[in-house]
């Protein structure tokens, strides 16, 4: 009996060691791979989950609930050129981040990713109790059995947008509310689309910088100035030994005039049912973001979602951002869908 137990223990140890070696080799392969360069591949095992179980899903992202008739856009996985992207494991994620705090800060694309992550986790471990508090500017999703908070703060410019003297003032060199970002284990930032809106959608009246005010300025210059302010805040206030910082990158829109998605004659994303095949032009603004990140003292992971989103005009809500089917949304993304891949990349790259 003792001999049998001894042999069983040896076998168990060998299996565990072999599994660890396989995991280490897989991790090394992924670490050496450019996860953001690849193609979309049809995979009938996708989507990763049934989004209908997420009753908390915002209407804007709930395309199937809003009546979208096709499901093919949910059937694609991202295939990096030199390796495989690990499949998302909800239970493993919850175990790993037990007792942690994750904060998404940015605009509605950050909201898209936050909703995707919370839905992936809830659908993957449906027995895990949760609570949800959606009171602006914070949305707080708690997995009670894991003491895990996944939060969202609406802050579309990352720098301050204040009301002064009856005017909305965009302050490129000011972040007064940054204390709310402290004390988190993971910070995921995004800011892009709102910088380029023109009146009447433009949410500010004047720009302020260094005590001077401007009616307008080159928008790419404004973006870089604002991101430089954000980068200085991160470098001065974040302890990289405790907190991982991620910048989401630039998510592509697909409207007439949007550059780089290989369909110059298309009015918008309406009617697209498959990913684009072939090459696309790199998006404007990528180099600005990379330049800002390259000068930061604190290591900040760049979740470069540009290429993989440029190739997916089919995966926007299109007519199904509301049950009324009014308007065409070619900016946000259906859930389940493309933002799930962002979260797979977040785990595989930035949080590996």
The edge-to-edge listing of strands for the beta sheet with 167-171 is 160-164, 167-171, 206-209, 212-214
Residues 6 or more apart in contact with residue 128 via CB below 8 angstroms: 94, 121, 122, 143, 144, 145, 146
Cβ atoms within 10 A of the Cβ of 7, count?
10
Q: Which residues of 64-81 are buried (b: 16+ CB within 10 A; e: fewer)?
A: bbbebeeeebbbbbbebe
Catalytic residue among 155, 316, 332, 340: 332
Question: Nearest 10 degrees: CA dihedral of 263, 268, 273, 276?
Answer: 30
Cβ atoms of residues 134 and 65 within 8 Å: no
H/E segment holding residue 138: strand 138-143
- CA 80 centroid distance within chain: 17
Specify whether 332 is catalytic: yes
Whole-number Å distance between alpha carbons of 309 and 258? 13
Q: Annotate 144-184 with DSSP letters as a single string.
A: GGGTEEEEEEE-TTSSEEEEETTEEEEETT--S-GGGGTT-
Catalytic residue among 108, 191, 244, 306: 108
Whole-number Å distance between alpha carbons of 348 and 340? 12
Whole-number Å distance between alpha carbons of 138 and 133? 8
Cβ atoms of residues 93 and 340 within 8 Å: no
Q: Annotate 5-69 with DSSP letters as a single string.
A: HHHHHHHHHHHHHHHHHHHHHHHHHHHHS-TTSEEEEE-TT-SSS-GGG-TT--GGG-TTTTT--
Catalytic residue among 112, 304, 329, 340: 329
Active site residues: 108, 329, 332
């Amino acid at each position: 009996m003792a001999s049998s137990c001894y042999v069983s223990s040896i076998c168990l140890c060998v299996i565990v060691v072999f599994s660890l070696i396989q995991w280490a080799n897989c991790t090394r392969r992924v670490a050496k791979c450019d996860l953001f360069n690849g193609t979309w591949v049809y995979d009938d095992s996708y989507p990763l989950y049934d989004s209908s179980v997420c009753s908390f899903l915002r209407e804007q992202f709930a395309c199937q609930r809003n009546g979208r008739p096709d499901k093919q856009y949910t059937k694609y996985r991202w295939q990096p050129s030199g390796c495989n992207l690990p499949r998302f494991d909800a239970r493993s994620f919850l175990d790993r981040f037990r007792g942690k705090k994750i904060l998404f800060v940015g605009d509605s694309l950050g909201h898209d990713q936050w909703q995707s992550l919370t839905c992936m986790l809830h659908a993957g471990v449906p027995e895990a109790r949760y609570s949800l508090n959606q009171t602006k500017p914070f949305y707080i999703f708690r997995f009670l059995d894991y003491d895990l908070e996944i939060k969202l703060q609406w802050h579309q410019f990352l720098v301050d947008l204040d009301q002064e003297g009856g005017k909305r003032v965009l302050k490129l060199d000011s972040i007064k509310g940054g204390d709310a970002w402290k004390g988190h284990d993971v910070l995921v930032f995004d800011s892009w689309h709102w910088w380029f809106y023109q009146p009447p959608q433009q949410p500010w009246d004047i720009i302020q910088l260094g005590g001077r005010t401007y009616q307008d300025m080159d928008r790419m210059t404004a973006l870089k100035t604002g991101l430089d302010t954000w980068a200085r805040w991160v470098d001065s206030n974040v302890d990289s030994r405790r907190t991982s910082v991620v910048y989401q990158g630039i998510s592509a829109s697909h409207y007439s005039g949007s550059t780089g998605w290989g369909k110059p004659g298309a009015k918008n994303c309406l009617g697209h049912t498959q990913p684009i095949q072939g090459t696309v032009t790199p998006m404007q603004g990528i180099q600005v973001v990379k330049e800002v990140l390259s000068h930061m003292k604190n290591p900040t992971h760049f979740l470069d979602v540009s290429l993989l989103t440029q190739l997916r005009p089919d995966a926007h809500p299109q007519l199904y951002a509301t049950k009324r089917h009014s308007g065409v949304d070619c900016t946000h993304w259906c859930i389940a869908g493309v933002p799930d891949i962002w979260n797979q990349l977040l785990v595989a790259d930035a949080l590996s």
